[in-house]
Structure 1
């Protein structure tokens, strides 16, 4: 008997595990932390399969550009998931990525870090203002006081109290 794999599953098999986790965490962030009812999606970087076909320059942007529906203010969000801390640190980005992120000064820029559990259901979630923590390696001390409720929408007051840009 021959097993036929549906096209959607075939595509899923083509995506490296690290990219699958990244896309799952981005979906989690959009669905739970920045839901459609409160935040309008202005931009989302294309996924792995789209980038494999034809890599658009917009893939270099932060994962999301969102707009707070209540006050109309826009902001960037970069999403990162890690299974665990490594020696009390969280490898956030590569140096070249960090330099690129630093160029996005026109809007407030936030990092959403998921830690532990699964990318689609992290154990802990942290929200950091990028301009307060521009490091390629984040240490546990950088995360102190920045944990947010997982599975609950980020409130505008959390975003705008310390917004830069």
Structure 2
């Protein structure tokens, strides 16, 4: 009788053990999933987090090295997507401001000779891609007067200075003007939106010594946002 009772008791314990094992697996899986989700939440896998992932994975009988490698791969892909989105946003802002500038040159008098980047608006586009952003010419009584425009838009600048170019760009614009023997202007938009800036300035490259200006020095270059551009061929000024 006793052996039979022991067999029954052993079978019962085995059944309870199987049930507990089955129930414990989802809990462990959920624990690993929670750890992975927490690690990916901030986009950074620290050494401590990596160690934790390996320990939890090992406790569940899974390949910790593989899981860590997959997490790193996913985080790297996410970072690349974010950088691409940022580049796309900046490119769109620049393109929108260029379109704003182009539309202020009356097509009856101005021709676009080159517009960098194969860009277009209202059917107007460049045949080739060169620098600066836009090369135009004023046509009066059969004569053509060329000049070039570099477009720069800035959101509300902080501090007392406005940087309108990167280091080296200003020298490149000056070299271009000398090589082509016609003036280059930086059209600077500030605030508002790229397609509708709050302020507008026209900076003659030959008058600039640094790629940054104090806000107080911008006043003499200011232009009404709602007025069109006109190029004075005699004074070589863009108004």
Please classify the TM superposition score into its range, dividing by the shorter chain length: 0.7 to 0.9
Compute the displacement of 1:29 (Å). Answer: 0.1
Q: Which moved more, 1:106-115 or 1:14-23?
A: 14-23
Find out whether 1:36 has 2:36 as its counterpart. Answer: no
Across the two proteins, how many residue pairs are aligned to each other? 140
Per the normalisation by structure 1, the TM-score is 0.75
**Matches of 1:160 and 1:129, distance apart in 2:** 15
**Are 1:133 and 1:142, in contact at CA under 8 Å, matched by a contact in 2?**
no
Find out whether 1:121 has 2:121 as its counterpart. Answer: no
Q: Which runs of 5+ in 2 are unaligned?
A: 1-84, 120-127
Structure (1/2) with the larger helix percentage: 2
Q: Which runs of 5+ in 1 are unaligned?
A: 1-12, 49-56
SS at match of 2:144: coil
Find out whether 1:146 has 2:221 as its counterpart. Answer: yes
Compute the displacement of 1:134 (Å). Answer: 3.5
- The equivalent residue for 2:23 is none
Per-residue CA shift, 1:108-127, capped at 9, x if unaligned? 11110001100000011111
- The equivalent residue for 1:161 is 235
**Matches of 2:108 and 2:196, distance apart in 1:** 21
Structure (1/2) with the larger strand percentage: 1
Of the three residues 156, 161, 166, the one matched with 1:94 is: 166
